[in-house]
């Protein structure tokens, strides 16, 4: 499970490396790790730990406490319904050495949420890549050599009912993602009631 930041131990003056993401359910993280072990040889790349499997919405970089507070307030004003995500696509970006799971048809809600968080980040001075958003869950890193990509994914699906802000912490040779804050998305029932 992704660790929750202990508020008392956070050094409020130091910039933190932050990103918005969708967490994957724990059982799905375990299923993906098992599927990955069955489908990739160990030399394919460095596997991402189960607890670190996530879908990035917006990368913010090193952010001051004041800027993080503004971004958290803006995130709290987002009101949109949750959506279902099916990880039915797979690919390899040899340039960045990433093997990923993605969506053949990303739900519109996912694209809207990422777009909103990215434009809020850009307006708050967090550099945003000009590359188009390609929703994905990184499975392996350091995959710079050609790899046989399985024809089919595990086809895992989940309902995204909240999105979260994480801090990325690198210590003792390991990257850990600490949960900073989560925001619920409206349930589909509420949305249809409101129509
Ligand atoms: O695992 P993914 O690719 O979804 O790649 C990093 C990871 O996303 C991405 O932020 C997530 C948490 O670390 N990331 C790291 N540095 C980045 C950068 N400079 C970056 N994304 C864009 N620009």
The separation between CA 45 and the C-alpha centre of its own chain, rounded to angstroms, equals 19
Is the model's pLDDT at 12 over the cut of 80? no
Segment 15-41, tens digit of pLDDT: 999 999 999 999 999 999 999 999 999
Is the model's pLDDT at 62 over the cut of 90? yes
Q: What is the pLDDT of residue 10?
A: 53
> Which tokens hold the place of 56?
């990035």
Check if the beta carbon of residue 186 is closer than 8 Å to that of residue 162.
no
Integer Rg of the chain from CA: 17
Q: What is the pLDDT of residue 194?
A: 39
Is the model's pLDDT at 161 over the cut of 60? yes
Mean pLDDT of the chain: 92
Q: What is the pLDDT of residue 2?
A: 56
Q: Tell me, using a 6 A CB cutoff, whether residue 56 lines ligand 1.
A: yes
Is the model's pLDDT at 7 over the cut of 90? no
Give the long-range contacts of residues 108-111, CB within 8 A, separation 24 or more. 108/83, 109/80, 109/81, 109/82, 109/83, 109/160, 109/185, 110/22, 110/83, 110/85, 110/135, 110/160, 111/135
Give the long-range contacts of residues 165-168, CB within 8 A, separation 24 or more. 165/18, 165/19, 165/20, 165/68, 165/71, 165/72, 165/75, 166/2, 166/18, 166/19, 166/20, 166/21, 166/54, 167/5, 167/16, 167/17, 167/18, 168/17, 168/18, 168/19
Catalytic position from the list 136, 159, 162, 178? 136
Segment 89-134, tens digit of pLDDT: 999 999 999 999 999 999 999 999 999 999 999 999 999 999 999 9
What is the DSSP secondary-structure string of 89-128?
A: EEEEETTTTEEEEE-SS--HHHHHHHHHHHHHHHHTT---
Q: What is the pLDDT of residue 154?
A: 86
CA-angle at 121, arms to 84 and 20, nearest 5°: 40
Q: What is the pLDDT of residue 4?
A: 58
Average pLDDT over residues 34-53: 97
Is the model's pLDDT at 78 over the cut of 90? yes
188: confidence class by pLDDT, cuts 50, 70, 90: low
Pocket test for ligand 1, best of 17, 23, 51, 59 (most atoms within 8 A of CB): 59
Q: Is 92 a catalytic residue?
A: no
Q: What is the pLDDT of residue 187?
A: 84
Check if the beta carbon of residue 141 is closer than 8 Å to that of residue 97.
yes
Q: What does DSSP assign to residue 65? A: H
Q: Is 162 a catalytic residue?
A: no
Check if the beta carbon of residue 81 is closer than 8 Å to that of residue 187.
yes
140: confidence class by pLDDT, cuts 50, 70, 90: very high
8: confidence class by pLDDT, cuts 50, 70, 90: very low
Pocket test for ligand 1, best of 21, 29, 56, 138 (most atoms within 8 A of CB): 56
- Cα 183 to Cα 112: distance, rounded to the nearest angstrom: 15
| Ligand 1 atom nearest 175 alpha carbon | 13
Is the model's pLDDT at 190 over the cut of 60? no
- Cα 117 to Cα 75: distance, rounded to the nearest angstrom: 7
């Amino acid at each position: 499970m992704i660790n929750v930041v202990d508020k008392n131990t956070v050094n409020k003056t130091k910039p933190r490396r932050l990103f918005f993401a969708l967490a994957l359910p724990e059982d799905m993280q375990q299923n993906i790790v098992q599927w990955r072990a069955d489908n990739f040889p160990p030399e394919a790349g460095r596997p991402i730990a189960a607890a670190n499997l996530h879908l990035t919405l917006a990368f913010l970089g090193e952010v001051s406490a004041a800027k993080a507070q503004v971004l958290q307030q803006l995130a709290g004003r987002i009101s949109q319904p949750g959506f279902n995500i099916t990880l039915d696509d797979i690919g390899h970006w040899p340039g960045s050495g990433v093997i990923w799971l993605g969506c053949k048809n990303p739900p519109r809600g996912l694209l809207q949420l990422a777009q909103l968080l990215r434009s809020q980040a850009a307006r708050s001075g967090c550099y945003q890549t000009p590359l188009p958003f390609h929703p994905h869950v990184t499975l392996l890193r350091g995959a710079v050599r050609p790899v046989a990509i399985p024809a089919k994914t595990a086809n895992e699906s989940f309902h995204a009912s909240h999105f979260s802000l994480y801090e990325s912490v690198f210590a003792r040779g390991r990257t850990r993602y600490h949960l900073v804050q989560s925001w619920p998305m409206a349930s589909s029932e509420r949305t249809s009631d409101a129509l």
